[in-house]
Amino acid sequence: MCVVVPRLPEGAPDSVMRGLVDQLLTEQRIEQYVLWYYTPMALAFTDHLAPDAIVYDCMDELSAFANAPAELKTREAQLLQRADLVFTGGQSLYEAKRRAHPRVHPFPSSVDVEHFAKARRATVDPSDQRPIPAPRLGFFGVVDERMDLGLLAGVAAARPAWQLVIIGPVVKIDPNLLPRLANVHYLGSKSYAELPDYIASWDLALQPFARNEATRYISPTKTPEYLAAGKPVVSTPIADVVSPYGQLGLVRIADTVDGFICACEEALREDAAVRMRDADVFLRQTSWDGTWTRMRHLMESALNPSNAVAAAAGEV
């Protein structure tokens, strides 16, 4: 695999990126290819290309995020007209997009179980987390408009003995708005490889998401990652967390400060062995390899529609 990362001057026009894409295709003699879009904004420098197929991997409702480009919805409409396949990052996003294209397929977040299960065996606490006493209630991910800061502050204030550990970059919001209580600890960004070591000594994993347009269709990848790490999880009622995780009893769901505290207290008292057994049964049904296999089959059908029709009829 070859990954190409462009380095562009600040404020470079789309024409610069368009030229780099053309140069890459020419130099590498790439004549047959599939375009895979994570953002419709990439149409600005690729709409002149003639790929064998186009995949729109719609991971989030990007137009609902803070500071989204004004032209994002228009670009998405254009991409949906051109795409051969549309994948969504969860069931709720699938429900929102399925009438916009004839071939939309949901692919909820999977997990690298082996990687996050390292948290069950890790024994070395990272140096910047070591001074923080127990119990530790942790979160990792981007801290932005999707986090319920009021909920975070309310829980921390009501339970000063609980230590809330927040790992991840602060983006798109004023850092001065973050709760600054003595028992809330912001440790900044950590690498993917480091996460199991941090999670290992947590007593509980949190998903304190706000209920707003930015979280309406999210399917948090951290949900199965927390479970693979062997941690109890408490989340606000995000649709793709309630179903299936809440309904299966794998994640506790609460919305208010009082409800969240009660859910955390229950989770801290639960039988860890039973919880991990039930989580592991669920996690055995999902993997990134399985997700990619299903995606690849759909792409092959899009590239060879006659073969797909024959296979459906039992002729191949």
Q: Please report where in the chains the tokens 């408009």 appear, as a residue.
A: 145
Give the pLDDT score at 306: 63
Per-residue pLDDT of the chain (316 residues; tens, 9 = 90+): 889 999 999 889 999 999 999 999 999 999 999 999 999 999 999 999 999 999 999 998 888 888 888 899 999 999 999 999 999 999 999 999 999 999 999 999 899 999 999 999 999 999 999 999 999 999 999 999 999 999 999 999 999 999 999 999 999 999 999 999 999 999 999 999 999 999 999 999 999 999 999 899 999 999 999 999 999 999 999 999 999 999 999 999 999 999 999 999 999 999 999 999 999 999 998 889 999 999 999 999 999 876 554 444 443 3
Q: Three-class SS of residue 223?
A: helix
Note if the bond before 106 is cis, omega within 30 degrees. Answer: no
Identify each DSSP E strand in the chain by its residue range.
34-37, 53-58, 85-88, 104-106, 136-140, 163-167, 184-188, 204-207, 233-235, 252-253
Please tell me the CATH code under which domain 113-283 is placed: 3.40.50.2000
Q: How far apart, in whole angstroms, are the C-alpha atoms of residue 219 and residue 234?
A: 15
Nearest to 206 by CA among 236, 183, 182: 236
**DSSP assignments along 233-275, one per residue:** EEE---HHHIIIIITTTSSEE--SHHHHHHHHHHHHHS-HHHH
Q: Are 223 and 235 in contact (CB under 8 A)?
A: yes
118-157 tens-digit pLDDT: 999 999 999 999 999 999 999 999 999 999 999 999 999 9
Query: At CB < 8 A and 24+ separation, what contacts does 23-31 make?
Result: 25/49
Give the pLDDT score at 65: 86
The whole-model pTM stands at: 0.88
Give the pLDDT score at 18: 96
Domain edges within the chain: 14-107, 113-283, 286-316
CB atoms within 10 A of CB 113: 19
165-215 tens-digit pLDDT: 999 999 999 999 999 999 999 999 999 999 999 999 999 999 999 999 989
Q: Are 261 and 158 in contact (CB under 8 A)?
A: yes
Q: Are 139 and 131 in contact (CB under 8 A)?
A: no
Tokens of 78: 């254009």
Q: How far apart, in whole angstroms, are the C-alpha atoms of residue 68 and residue 63?
A: 6
